[in-house]
Amino acid sequence: MPIAIFLGALLAASAASATTYVRVEKDGSKTYSDRPIPGGQPVELEPAQTYSAPPSPVSSGTSNESQLVRDMDSFRYESCEITPKNDEMITNPQSVNIQVDLRPVLRVGDVVTLTVDGVSVSKSAALSYTMSPAYRGQHSVGVQVNDLYGRSVCSASSTFNVFQPGLNSPARRPAPPPPKK
């Protein structure tokens, strides 16, 4: 029995490495054979085209859920800005609109805490607040965005000035007296 297996393997190997011969006839047609033919030449065959799949984006046995948790742990907003900008001067406003700009947009579950002059004015998903009335002087605003677990994923602050000139500013001259009759 082992000899039969050996002969079968030898026959399979010889078939796999078989040579094909071709002969071009006078009329231009070609004759192919698996045995040498008079006037024929061996045909050189190119290896078969193969395809290798690209590696999986999930590295070395890490599940998709584990990858998502890892990405969530390292998440930070690309841009976290607040307006009015730092050192901005606003003249004669009735109110001042305070706006938070996040990129990417606010994620579901993230909590925004907006403060004006150290007092929390918003704790939710609100990204704007209107300070009304706008008193003269210097004001500080800040924003803190926390994820579901209380980790800070964004913070920004700004200090701006509200200028509201009074009737006597700058050094108002009194109206001239009416002419005497």
Specify the pLDDT at position 33: 85
CA distances (Å), origin 89, targets 31, 132, 134: 92, 16, 12
Question: Which residues are CB-contacts of 87 (< 8 A; sequence separation ≥ 6)?
Answer: 159, 160, 161
Beta bridge partners of 105: none
14 membership: H or E segment, kind and range: helix 2-16
Task: Note the pLDDT tens digit of each residue in 100-114.
Answer: 999 888 888 888 999
137 membership: H or E segment, kind and range: strand 137-146
Q: Does domain 74-163 have CATH number 3.40.50.300?
A: no
- 167-177 burial, b at 16+ Cβ within 10 Å, e below that, comes to eeeeeeeeeee
Give the count of beta carbons closer than 10 Å to the beta carbon of residue 114. Answer: 23
Task: Note the pLDDT tens digit of each residue in 47-94.
Answer: 888 888 887 665 555 566 766 566 566 778 888 899 999 999 999 889
Q: Choose between 153 and 62: higher pLDDT.
A: 153
Radius of gyration of the chain (CA): 41
